[in-house]
Amino acid sequence: MAQINEQIIRAVYAEMLSYKPALAKQLVTDDDEDDGEIDYRLQGDVIIKNFPWPIGVELRRLFSGSMRQFDRSRLDQIFKTIERTMQFISFAMVCQLWQEKIKQNLVLTDTLKKDFESRFCLLGMGNFAWIIRAIGNFFEDQKIGWFMKEMSDTFDKKFYAALDFWVPERNEIGHYQINLTQEDIEKRCVEYEEKLTFILQKIAFFANYKLVSVRDIKVQKTRIKEAKFRHVIDLLNSSDSDFKAKELDDFQFSESNAVMVIKTMKSIGEHLNLSPLVIDTKSEVLDNKDKFSIKKDIFMYTKFRGDQLFYVGTEVTEKCDLRALSNYQSLMDEFKELMRVFN
Beta bridge partners of 156: none
| Per-residue pLDDT tens digits of the chain, which is 343 residues long | 468 899 999 999 999 999 999 998 877 655 545 556 788 999 999 999 999 999 999 999 999 988 989 999 999 999 999 999 999 999 999 999 999 998 888 888 888 988 998 899 889 999 999 999 999 999 999 999 999 999 999 999 999 999 999 998 877 765 556 788 899 999 999 999 999 999 999 999 999 999 998 877 777 777 777 777 777 788 887 655 555 677 766 656 667 778 999 888 777 778 899 999 999 998 888 888 888 888 899 999 999 998 899 999 999 888 888 999 999 999 999 999 999 988 8
pLDDT of residue 252: 64
Is residue 299 situated within a structural domain? yes
Is residue 1 situated within a structural domain? no
Is residue 52 situated within a structural domain? yes
Residues 62 and 127 in one domain: yes
Look at residues 208, 242, 260 and tell me which one is the last residue of a structural domain.
Answer: 208
pTM: 0.90
Using CA atoms, how far apart are residues 300 and 279, in angstroms rounded to an integer?
7
pLDDT of residue 32: 44
Residues 260 and 139 in one domain: no
Residues 197 and 213 in one domain: no
Domains in the chain: how many in total? Answer: 3
Residues 42 and 62 in one domain: yes
Residues 145 and 35 in one domain: yes
Using CA atoms, how far apart are residues 182 and 298, in angstroms rounded to an integer?
35
Using CA atoms, how far apart are residues 224 and 310, in angstroms rounded to an integer?
47
Residues 101 and 160 in one domain: yes
Range of the domain at 157: 6-208
Residues 216 and 332 in one domain: no
pLDDT of residue 244: 65
Residues 147 and 218 in one domain: no
User: Between β-strands 308-313 and 298-305, what pairing exists: parallel, antiparallel or unpaired?
Assistant: antiparallel
pLDDT of residue 125: 92
Is residue 178 situated within a structural domain? yes
pLDDT of residue 168: 87
Residues 192 and 75 in one domain: yes
Using CA atoms, how far apart are residues 138 and 156, in angstroms rounded to an integer?
12
Residues 122 and 195 in one domain: yes
